[in-house]
Amino acid sequence: MARKFSIAAMAMELMESLLVRKPATVMYPIERLAPPDRFRGRMRYDPDSCTLCGLCQRDCPADVIKVVRKRVEREDGKKETVGHVEFEMDRCVFCGQCAYSCNSGSITFTKDFELAQPQRQLFMMKGEAEEVDDDACDADTEVVP
Ligand code: SF4
Ligand code: SF4
């Protein structure tokens, strides 16, 4: 009898807590929670500040980034590096290492988390970097042909 009573009391307690407690979930997508401050959502690449140094490619653990660059000689004889950076974002694990490694602040993350796409091709990102001074490139970093 005592056991029955305790189960009934527990059930009552549970019912009360369910009625009083705020739900842990929200009616997404009608209602949306704000991501926390340090949340890493959609990546943003700024080609204007990128020096094509290749550090992001070197440090990415998921092999997402490919820095493509070549050295060209201008008419005045000065050497410059031109190129672009490619991102295969379907493999990205949003670890943030590329942004941490980039000395130019060219990679940042927004709070946009709705990243689903119907085709893999839509995850490919490419940014043409500005022509950069040859000295800005790390000579030890592999140049992807
Ligand atoms: S680490 Fe930064 S500056 Fe260097 S190639 Fe990557 S995005 Fe560009
Ligand atoms: S966030 Fe991590 S996995 Fe994604 S591109 Fe940057 S280094 Fe690679």
Q: What is the mean pLDDT of the chain?
A: 86
- Reported as a pLDDT band with limits 50, 70 and 90, residue 20 is confident
CA distance 57 to 66: 6
- What the block records as the tokens of 14 is 């549970």
For every residue of 18-73, DSSP letters joined together read HHHSPPSS--TTTS-PPPPTT---SEEE-TTT-----HHHHH-TT--EEEEEEEEE
Which domains does the chain show, CATH number per domain?
A: 43-136 (3.30.70.3270)
Distance 123 CA to ligand 1 centre (A): 19
| Residue 83 · residue 68 · CB < 8 Å | yes
**Per-residue model confidence as pLDDT tens digits over 22-69:** 888 999 999 999 999 999 999 999 999 999 999 999 999 999 999 999
Q: How far is CA 117 from CA 4, 113, 120, in A?
A: 54, 12, 7
Distance 14 CA to ligand 2 centre (A): 44
Percentage of the chain beyond pLDDT 90 is 60
pTM attached to this predicted model: 0.77
- Reported as a pLDDT band with limits 50, 70 and 90, residue 16 is confident
Distance 18 CA to ligand 1 centre (A): 51
Q: How far is CA 102 from CA 9, 52, 57, 93, 106, in A?
A: 59, 10, 10, 17, 7
Q: Which of 59, 91, 98, 113 to mutate to test the pocket of ligand 2 (most atoms within 8 A of CB)?
A: 98
Q: In this structure, what DSSP letter does residue 136 have?
A: G
Distance 54 CA to ligand 1 centre (A): 6
Q: Which of 64, 65, 67, 109 to mutate to test the pocket of ligand 2 (most atoms within 8 A of CB)?
A: 64
